[in-house]
Amino acid sequence: MKDSPRLGVNIDHVATLRQARGEFYPSVVEAASVCLLAGADQITIHLREDRRHIQDTDVGAVALVTKKYGKPLNFEMGCHNEIVDIALATGPDWVCLVPEKREERTTEGGLDLLDETNFDKVSQACTKLKAGLPNLKISLFLEASAETLERAAKLPIDAVEIHTGEYAKAFLHGESTESYLGAFRRAQILLKEAGIGCHAGHGLTQESIQPLLQEGLFAEYNVGHWIICQAVFDGLGKVVTTMKESCLQYPLA
């Protein structure tokens, strides 16, 4: 049987809900477990420098869940020394290096590898991570631009995660996605020739992932926001029914 593309579920948004109240629920450990039991192939978490969602204590706790289920933990991170050290101490299966700006709402695009200073920073992070964790696989979050991908091929990486955010936005708003698909096709060929895995992530929904799946463009997809949003509606009615049943058990005098 042929391999199917892998689905990584990004559970940062569960932590966002938890942090909104400063409570211990919803639990990211439970979220990781539910996703893996439901068939997810990996769990993705992003420990941001500003700690806006995933917290330091979540990293080890989620790593234990992925280990228990024998599935990979994909640790998304910016190239900050402090976070590199946390990755080294945790030992995830994958690290996905992303750009990070404090003022952004979410990761807004791929790493700029054409900037020499940035390229060196990414290169140093890759070298340090690989030296400390010889079995670690590294992916870089990049735009589907030939120039950038050619630079990436000079680094000790195992995969590129192509930024699908702009494609997904165009799809959602009914605009043409042809130029994005063309770039994804060229990226797939270039990465295959370089022996580098071709992954995708950002902004994808159940609908916008379909054309990518149909063309077999990517071996792995990392999806978060839409899955957590849709889970609200797949569960909301059930939860309201349960609480209403409690109300019905206690008629007023």
Catalytic residues: 46, 76, 202
**Residue 63 or 162: which CB sits closer to ligand PXP?**
162
Joined together, the tokens standing for residue 191 give: 């990465």
Binding site for ligand PXP (CB under 6 A): 10, 12, 46, 76, 96, 98, 106-107, 141, 161, 201-204, 222-226
The burial of 129, by beta-carbon neighbours within 10 Å (0-12 exposed, 13-18 middle, 19 or more buried), is given as buried
Quote the least distance from Cβ 205 to ligand PXP, whole Å.
Answer: 8
Type and span of the H or E element at 153: none
First to last CA, the chain: 64
- CB of residue 120 to ligand PXP, shortest distance in Å: 21
Which residue number, 9 or 36, has a Cβ lying nearer to ligand PXP? Answer: 9
Amino acid, single-letter form, for residue 208: S
Contact assessment for residue 169 and residue 163, using Cβ atoms and an 8 Å cutoff: no
Beta carbon of residue 237, minimum distance to ligand PXP (angstroms, whole number)? 24
Q: Which is nearer to ligand PXP, 123 or 205 (CB)?
A: 205
* Cα gap 220→213, rounded to integer Å: 10
